Structure 1
C-alpha cells in the first residue's frame, strides 16, 4: 500500500501550472461527491475508490485530514456537489515520472439541485456509437482521462435524451456516459462488472453491499429483453429508463413506468433523498 502524504505536506493548490501531469496527460483521479447540509454522502465509498485509483497509478494518497478539509466549512446550500481532483503533480517534459513529485489536490463546492421529474417520469436514453476500449489496469477507477465519455456525449444534443449507453469493443454493456447502468431480469437486479473498463460507481457499490444488486454481464443483444432498466449515480440518484433509442433515433425498447420502485427507494435512502422530496 502506498503511504499517505504527511499532514504537514502542502497538498492543496489554487492553480494548475502548465506542466501539471494531470493537465498534460490525465495523470490523476477525481471524485464527485454529494454534500447534504455540508456533510459528504457515501464518503467511505468515494475514499475507497480514490485510494484504489491512487494505488493503480502509483500516486501517494493524501492524508485523511487533507481530504476531509475539502468539504469542511459552512455549506452554501442544502445540497452541494464537491469535486475533488488529485493529480500526480508537476512533472516536467516527457512521460517518465520525475524522481521527486508532490501530488496536487484541488477541490470545488457548488450548489446542486437534482432532477426530481426524472425520478418520477423516467428518462430516454440512446445507444452510443462509440465503443469503450478494454484496459483492465484502468478499469473501475475514476481517472482523469475521460475522452471516451466526452466523445460519446457529443453524439447527441437533443434535450429529451438524458443519457447515452456505452458498450465495449466486445459489445458488453458497461455504463452510461456519466452514470452506472442497472437492469432487472427474472426478478433480480444486476449491474455490469467493471473489471475490463468503465467506472465502478459508489452508489452501485453501496447497493451491492446492501444485497439489492448483483454484478453480471449483459450483452448488447440481450438489452431489449430485460424487464426494467435504470441509470444512476451518487449525485443524481436513480432514473428509471422508459425508452431506449438506437443511435439513429429509432426506438429499440419501451419499458413501463416504475415510479417509486424498491430499487429506487433504497438508492435514494442511501443518498438521503426522502420520498416526500419528489
Structure 2
C-alpha cells in the first residue's frame, strides 16, 4: 500500500487518529475525524474521506471487545496522491489495567516553550512520533509528563492531562499542545475548564489524571516519586469517559 518514496515513510509527513471502538461504536467519532482533518490541513495534505473506513471498522469489529481503530493518512510520493488506510486491533490489556491501577509519572522538561512559532506542528497529530516513543522508553515502567521551559505542565507523550483544584476539573489550555478529544469531552461533561498548572500546582491538587481515547482515564498515583492519595472523583470521571455519548 505504501511506496518506498512515500513522504510519510521518508519524513513522517502524515497524520493519524486512534479511536476507541466499544460495543461496535467508534466513540467520539466526529471529534476525532475533525481533528484529523485539522492535522492534515496543517501539513497541507488533502485528506481523503475516512468515514467509510470507520463504518467498515464498526461493522467488522466484534461487539463484545474493545478495539483500537487507527486511521493513517500519509502524504504519498512527491507529486502523487495521499494514502489513507486503517487498522483495528484489540486494546492492550496493560492499557485497560491502568484505568483501575493508575499510573506513576515522572516529569521532564520538553525543551520547548508554550509559545510556538507559526510553522510548529505540535497541535497536529502527525506520524513523527519517534520523540514521543523515546520519551516513554526513557521513563521505564512509568509514564512521562512534559513540562514547558516556563515550568508549565503540557501533556504526556500519548495522553492529555487533567487535574482537580478547588472542586473544579481543569485541562491544559492547548498552547502548543495537541488538543485532546477525550479531555475536551470530559471537561464538557464534567463542567470543567481549561487552565494551566506548574508541577507544584499539580502537587497541591486534589487529583491528577492522564486521559486518552484507548486508556480512558488513568489516575496519577505517584508524581516524581511522591505518592498520591486516590481521588474520590476517579470513579465518576471514569464513568463519564466510558459511557457512550448521547
Query: TM-score higher than 0.5 here?
Result: yes
Could you say what secondary structure the match of 2:60 adopts?
Answer: coil
Residue in 2 that maps onto 1:261: 235
Is residue 2:16 matched to residue 1:30?
Answer: yes
TM-aligned CA distance change 1:213 to 1:141, over 3 Å: farther
CA distance in 2, matches of 1:221, 1:112: 33
**Would you say the 8 A contact 2:17–2:70 is kept in 1?**
yes
User: After superposition, what is the alpha-carbon deviation per residue over 1:165-199, rounded to whole angstroms, capped at 9, x for unaligned?
Assistant: 11123222111121111111111111112232x32
Among 69, 90, 99, the residue aligned to 2:77? 90
Q: Which moved more, 1:187-196 or 1:68-77?
A: 68-77
Alpha-carbon distance in structure 1 between the residues aligned to 2:106 and 2:56: 35
SS of residue in 2 equivalent to 1:175: coil
Which runs of no fewer than 5 residues in structure 1 stay unpaired?
1-14, 92-99, 246-250, 273-278
2:38 is equivalent to residue 52 of structure 1: yes
| Counterpart position of 1:154 | 137
Match in the other structure for 1:6: none
* Count, aligned residues: 240
Q: Give the 3 Å change call, closer, same or farther, for CA 22–135 of structure 1 in structure 2.
A: farther
* Alpha-carbon displacement from aligned partner over 1:218-270 (angstroms, at most 9, x marks no partner): 1234332222111111111101111112xxxxx2x332112643222212224
How far apart, CA to CA, are the structure 2 residues paired with 1:104 and 1:236? 27
Cα distance in 1 between the residues matched to 2:235 and 2:55: 37
Normalised TM-score (structure 2): 0.86
> Do residues 128 (structure 1) and 112 (structure 2) align?
no
Q: What is the alpha-carbon distance in structure 2 between the residues aligned to residue 123 and residue 271 of structure 1?
A: 26
Alignment of 1:1-278 (within 5 A): 15-63=1-49, 65-69=51-55, 71-76=57-62, 78-91=65-78, 100-114=79-93, 115-132=95-112, 134-135=116-117, 137-158=120-141, 161=142, 163-196=143-176, 198-245=177-224, 251=225, 253-258=226-231, 260-270=234-244
Measure the CA separation in 2 of the matches of 1:65 and 1:261. Answer: 32
Q: What's the Cα RMSD here? A: 2.4
For structure 1, which segment, 127-136 or 261-270, has the greater mean C-alpha deviation from structure 2 after superposition? 127-136
Q: Secondary structure at the match of 2:138?
A: coil
CA contact (8 A) 1:38 1:75 kept: yes
Distance 1:84 1:65 in 2: 10
Contact 2:69 2:88 in 1 (8 A): yes
The CA distance in 1 between the partners of 2:107 and 2:155, in whole Å, is 11
The answer to whether the 8 Å contact 2:70/2:88 transfers is yes
Bigger Rg, structure 1 or 2: 1
Measure the CA separation in 2 of the matches of 1:213 and 1:19: 45
